[in-house]
A = this chain, B = another copy of it.
Amino acid sequence: MTSTADAPRSPGRPRSTRADEAIVDATLDLLAEGNSIEALTIEAIATRAGVGKATIYRRWPGKDALLLDALRTLKGPAPHCAGRSVRDDLVLLVGAVGQHADPRARKIMPCLVPEVNRSSAHRQAYEAIVEPRREALREVLRRAIDRGELRADIDIEVTMALLTAPMLTQRMLQWYAGDERMLPERIVDTVLDGLRVR
C-alpha cells in the first residue's frame, strides 16, 4: 500500500496548496483583464484570491517571483523530442511554439512584451520561461549539423527565429489561411529546402 503520508517530505518550498493555486490564478486573472505589471499590487492579488497579504509573502518574496511562477504555469510543460529525424523533431517543436495550456495566455503574453524591454527583472523572468524550450530546439539543430544533415555554416539563432517566429505570429494573429495543423510542416520544409531553384 502506498501512502503519501509515508513519503519523505522534500525540503525547501512547501507543496502547492489550494491557497497557492488561488494566488497564481488571481495574478493571471488580473493580468488577463488588462492590468499592467506596474499596476499589479500584492494587495490587489490578495483581495482577488481571498487571502491575506502575509499568505502571499510566506511563499513568494515579492511580486516579481510570484509573477514568474504564474507565467510558468501559463506556459505548461515543454514538449519531449523523440530524436528520430531532424524534420520530425523540428515539426514537433515548431508545433509547440506559443501553444499555451491556459487560454488567458493569448491576452497576457503580447502585452508583456513592452514590460520585458523596460525592466531587466522582467527580461530575466521571460528568459527563464523560454530558454529551456529554446535549448531543446538548439540541440536538435546541433545534432543534425554533427550528423552532416544540415549545413555547418548556418546561424543557429537566426534559424531558430525562422522556425519559431512565424508560428508565434500565427498563434497571435492567425495570418495563415490554410489548415493550421499543417503549418509546422510547411514552415519546417520551406526552411530546410530554401527558396532558390537549383
1/0 per position for A114-147, CB-CB distance to B under 8 A?
A: 1011000000001000000000000000000000
Q: For chain A, which range describes its interface: under 10, 10 to 19, 20 to 34, or 35 or more residues?
A: 35 or more
Determine the chain B residues whose CB is within 8 A of the CB of A173 once the complex forms.
Answer: 113, 116-117, 126
**Assembled-state Cα–Cα distance A117/B173 (Å):** 7
Determine the chain B residues whose CB is within 8 A of the CB of A177 once the complex forms.
Answer: 157
Q: Is A150 an interface residue (CB 8 A)?
A: yes
Within 8 A of B (CB), among A162-177: 162, 165-166, 168-170, 172-177
Determine the chain B residues whose CB is within 8 A of the CB of A197 once the complex forms.
Answer: 148-151
A98 to nearest B CB, angstroms? Answer: 11
Q: Is A59 an interface residue (CB 8 A)?
A: no
- 30 A-B interface contacts by CB (under 8 A): A34-B36, A34-B39, A110-B113, A110-B114, A113-B172, A117-B173, A149-B197, A150-B195, A155-B186, A155-B190, A157-B176, A157-B178, A158-B166, A158-B176, A158-B190, A159-B190, A159-B195, A161-B165, A161-B169, A161-B170, A161-B176, A162-B190, A162-B191, A168-B169, A169-B169, A191-B191, A192-B196, A193-B194, A194-B194, A194-B195
Determine the chain B residues whose CB is within 8 A of the CB of A106 once the complex forms.
Answer: 114, 117
For the complex of A and B, 6 pairs with smallest distance between CB atoms = A194-B194, A165-B165, A161-B166, A110-B113, A165-B166, A110-B110
| CB-CB nearest in chain B for A155 | B186
A contacts, CB < 8 Å to B: 34, 36, 39, 106-107, 110-111, 113-114, 116-117, 126, 148-151, 154-155, 157-159, 161-162, 165-166, 168-170, 172-178, 183, 186-187, 190-198
Query: Oligomeric state, in number of copies?
Result: 2
Partner of A151 from B107, B166, B172, B195 at Cβ < 8 Å: B195
Determine the chain B residues whose CB is within 8 A of the CB of A113 once the complex forms.
Answer: 110, 172-173
